[in-house]
Chains A and B, each alone.
Chain A
Amino acid sequence: MSQLRKDPIVSRWTIIATERARRPAAFVDPQSVITEQKHCPYCKDIASPGIYESHGVKVMNSTSPILDNSKPFERHGHGLYDVSHSFGSHEIVLETPEHIANMADLSKEQMVAVFKTYGLRMQEHRKNPFIEYIIAYKNYGVAAGSRNIGHARSQIMAVPVLPMRVKDKIDGAEKFFDYHERCLFCDMVSQELKNKERVIVENDHFVVIAPFASRFPFETWILPKNHHCDFAEGIKGHENSLAAIMKDILLRFKLGLNDPAYNYMIQTSPVKNPSAFKDNYHWHIEVMPRLTRVAGFERGTGFYICPIPPEMTAAFLREVDIHA
């Protein structure tokens, strides 16, 4: 019997369609990396100066930025519409000097350097008084919105508004905290660890789960076991653990799902008024293989149809042998 499940954070309902559950192998979307190393623009860029550089990780301004912080942020109205120019920053993080496509194939040490870089750039962007939110994210593979260049990179955007999905999460977490005086994500971590069926892997500081109300097949969340609202502060001292668990889950995708396209995004608390989020928000990372297409129903309703129960995807990913 199919189920409807509600995400306790943003109150988003999901249909878990067990009637049409497909076997994991039916979702295959292999990547063919086409750019040869000699044509890779990022291999050339690695020699040019960037905004920040450390341990083979380099941060550069996007060559086609959609945000621009050269002018101060200003909002105005146009009749009933609100408008401002698109103030903010848009940076590219080159994760390695080597021509390696998938982050799963980087060394753990290299991944540590990437996560430290995210944290440092976030600390830098929050100094700008107009910035409300900073997101670090990755698009790997064409189906995830990336160009097929074959050089591991991620992006950081700093924006002057609180994006809607972020606000949904924060509102949900606040509501839960007001009522229970506990962090929703901390409760989630303990319930998932007790229940086990949606846990894919864990280490000392992190647990990876297939969320109860997944929107997409093989959607996974990396949740810190220790409460902290902010990524940049929260990872301090835990960078090695995070790199280990990220490498683990990305290898499970690569080996178990035939190198699929994927996105990940770091969900952290808003920049302004940090004390308001200290107790009720809990940073985490959403990692999403891109195996299905979003159709009219999902677009029109925000109501996602996940064609496979998360318990089944968690079991599948748990059994992938990443040491083979």
Chain B
Amino acid sequence: MPELRRDPVVGRWVIIDSEHSQGPADFPKDNNTPTHQAICPFCPGREHQTPPEVDAVRPLKSLANTAGWLVRTVPNKFPVLIAEGSLQKEGIGIYDQMTGIGAHEVLIEGPDHEKSLTEFTKDEMQAVISQYRGRFRQLAQDRRFKYVVIFKNYGSSAGATVEHTHSQIIALPMVPKTVLEELKGAEHYHQYRGRCVFCDMIAQEYQDKERIVAENNSFLAFCPYAPRYAFETWIIPKGHSADFSSIDETAQANLAQILQDVLKRVKKVLNNASYNYYFHTAPIGYANTACYHWHIEIIPKLTRSVGFEWGTGLHIVPTMPQDAARFLREA
């Protein structure tokens, strides 16, 4: 019997279509775009084709904007927000607008054009996580910014336009809506019960077990009870922590391990499907740290959202989360 489920954080209802619960083979195969290494601006030796780097991991201390890097972060050549200027707000009749101040960076995860995150060594993966944290901390110091989003689009149907492995970072002058909704829900829960809703969720996931995908000493990966998308998977720190950038070295190593582990499972089970992942963490300078709990959401791109979902925000998910978790766990 199909079910309607409500996400306890933001109060979002979803329809779980258990009648037609689909396995991984029911989704069409994804055609990732072919590699054009010959002209890739992210490959070593073409550092001059990107804007000058803002940060890099260079184990052999090579010069900035030359080869020899392990991870390299550059401003996006086509930024959606511009870093220079002051923040100006304005009203036009009933409408509000402000200048598009922000930062938009590309984090090139490795020098090898052919290698994706799932093929990285432990050290390479850890360098990516360490660069995420470093960029986050740097951008958080800019007083104009209220929120930093780290995200990745893998595969063309998830919105990737360059195939060389990379993530993106956008710093925003306001807290985005989805995060605000989570904060509001989490604050409300905390006010009412005096506990963190995410911590309670972790406890219940351990009790129910059926939605757990993987775990290590610091993190749990599970398919949320009321997902928006088929095979949606979250990675969450087991201990309460509101701010991603506060994680220590051990947690960074564990995050590198579990992120790669989950991506390998997604790749195997879903036939190298396109995916998005993004970090949800507390806004810069957020005071109610007892309420919020940072996490990563991994969303394989398997279905197209239809008019109904756009119009209502009521998502139709064709796979039961415990089935998705089982497929991923057993991969």
Contacts and interface: CB of A to CB of B under 8 A. Distances in A.
Interface of A: 1-6, 8, 10-13, 15-17, 19-20, 64, 66-68, 78-87, 133, 135, 137-139, 142-146, 155, 157, 159-161, 163-166, 168, 176, 184, 187-188, 191, 195, 212-213, 263-267, 286, 288, 293-297, 299-303, 305
A157 B4 contact: no
B306 A263 contact: yes
Contacts of B13: 161, 163-164
B277 interface: yes
Does more than half of chain B's interface fall in helix, strand or loop, or is it mixed? Answer: mixed
Contacts of B172: 301, 303
A313 to B, nearest CB: 17
Given A86-B16, A300-B149, A2 B82 contact: yes
Given A2-B100, A68-B2, A164 B15 contact: no
Contacts of A264: 307
B96 interface: yes
A17 B81 CA distance: 7
B187 to A, nearest CB: 16
Contacts of B305: 145, 294
B313 A163 contact: yes
Contacts of B225: 78, 81
Contacts of A165: 310-314
Interface string B65-105: 00000000000001111100100000001111111100000
A279 to B, nearest CB: 17
B233 interface: no
B311 A267 contact: yes
Nearest to B12: A164
A293 B118 CA distance: 24
30 contacts: A2-B100, A3-B97, A5-B95, A6-B97, A8-B94, A15-B81, A19-B80, A79-B208, A80-B204, A81-B8, A81-B225, A85-B2, A86-B4, A86-B16, A87-B4, A139-B307, A157-B308, A159-B312, A163-B314, A164-B10, A164-B13, A165-B311, A165-B312, A195-B93, A294-B159, A295-B276, A296-B159, A300-B151, A301-B149, A301-B172
Interface string B170-183: 10111011110100
B112 interface: no
A86 B15 contact: yes
Contact of A297 (B79, B93, B149): B149
Interface of B: 1-6, 8, 10-13, 15-17, 19-20, 78-82, 85, 93-100, 149, 151-153, 157-160, 168, 170, 172-174, 176-179, 181, 197, 200-201, 204, 207-208, 225-226, 276-280, 297, 299, 303-308, 310-314, 316
B92 to A, nearest CB: 8
A294 B304 CA distance: 10
B100 A17 contact: yes
Given A295-B153, A296-B277, A135 B312 contact: yes
B5 A83 contact: yes
